[in-house]
Structure 1
Amino acid sequence: MAFANNTSTQNSKRLSQNVAFWIFRLLSFSVVAILVIILGFIIVRGISVISWEFLTQMPREGMTAGGIYPAIIGTLCLVVGSMLFAFPIGILSGIYINEYAKDSWFKRFVKMMTNNLAGIPSIVFGLFGMALFVNQFGFGDSILAGSLTLGLLALPVVIRTTEESLKAIDNSFRIGSLALGATKWQTTSRVVLPMAFPNIITGLILSIGRVSGETAPILFTVAAYFLPKLPNSIFDQVMALPYHLYVISTSGTNIEASRAMAYGTAFVLIMIVLLVNLLANWLRRYFSRKVKMN
């Protein structure tokens, strides 16, 4: 009797486990299916617009003809500029929080503020960037003001990713390094940071993915409605793919041409993000192999 009850209980647990696994599989497949549908929709409608002229020419006729070359260059400038600001500061901040800051009210306060900063809507960052960088610092509507604003937007992601990556490194490596006579900084820079760097690259990927598609911050700080030329300095305005996509989707005079340009622009923006993510993933694998070899 007891044996039968145990068998029945095991079968019930096995059934519950299988049901849970199938639910997880269905949810995973649903997420993938939604992503494929979205990408397929953009690709099918946008790939017919893609041509060498579309990628290398200046826009014409109220952005219903010509290409999106200035918007591509402007987007790349903003992404690179924001990462040059956010990545060093974010990594150093994450190192300080995890490796140097003692467990106190100040550390908890900084972590809470970082989490809150990550949840602030992007349009608030845009208003702040306009007030501080455009008006107060006198940068005007420029690549510099837009990059700093987008850098602030990406900063919390980099900090949290760096902190979690460092936290995942087993403490025995730190103890062993210190026992061999290394200083705290030598332990952090030569032992802990190289091991955590492949995961820190994830923060860069997430940050690039976020800032490359933002419209509100650049609307207040850098984006130009129609500017068929390339920037000459960091104090120039630029066109950008997200804002360009918004403008031609809502303000076009030629509806059909504008809609085709919008899908083509969306396709290019997705491809840029995809290529950057592939590059970042390659860097992560490269550094992972170096860590394993060492």
Structure 2
Amino acid sequence: MFSAISPGELALLAASLIVAGAITGVLAGLFGVGGGAVIVPILYEIFRVIGVPEEVRMPLCVGTSLAIIIPTSIRSFLTHRAKGLVDLAILKVWAAPVVLGVLAGSYIARFAPPDLFKIIFVVVAVLSALRLLFAADRWKFGDELPGKPVMVGYGGLIGVLSALMGIGGGQLSSLFMTFYGRPIHQAIATSSGLGVLISIPGALGFIYAGWPKMDILPPLSLGYVSFIGFLLFIPTSIWMAPVGARLAHRLSKRKLEVVFGIFLLSVAGRFAWSLLG
């Protein structure tokens, strides 16, 4: 029970989240990501140290990550759209199935065992890492995007997986678009729009999903969203992101791919080890 947490423990939680936000900002700037691939594993370690029960730890990380992504995804999308890089036609096809997928994922989160979140994170992280480490830009399914039925189905899958992983969907949608020959810059720009479609309904859905667990969640939580995590993560992560970005400019694209691939494998290994335990 967290109702009796001391002011000192609450201060430790706040300080930990501020530091974690700074680390996240550096990693996000370095690797060009701003979502759950970085936020979720860092939150997981913090919540483990402060004693958040295993039953709610992973969904709390995911829900909080989705809430953190909201302002950054809106800012990113507006920036990319102003530069004319966003393919709005793709977003129009994906909008409804992505949102429905997010709602489905949020509903699943209400009843899913904690290990399900880890398993999904491990599988997607390993696949992404292998593509990065083996420089698989040549992996292609075709030169043109598939028809609307396939696009709709993939949009729903992106929504479900993003909701259960706590990510903005950019990693999954960019992967899909590059498989069909779209330039990486256009893929990233278009994917930024999914962050808005995923993060807002996703965060609301995880508030609903965690409502029955309020008695064992840490203070200042609303369902599976930690508001102290949300409020303290954002300022320092935004402040430190340029540091990571400057570091990224000193490294080649290939070195970044290798470093990020290793990072994803280490995170997947950490969650896989906890599954075995």
TM-score (norm 2): 0.30
Larger radius of gyration: 1
TM-score (norm 1): 0.29
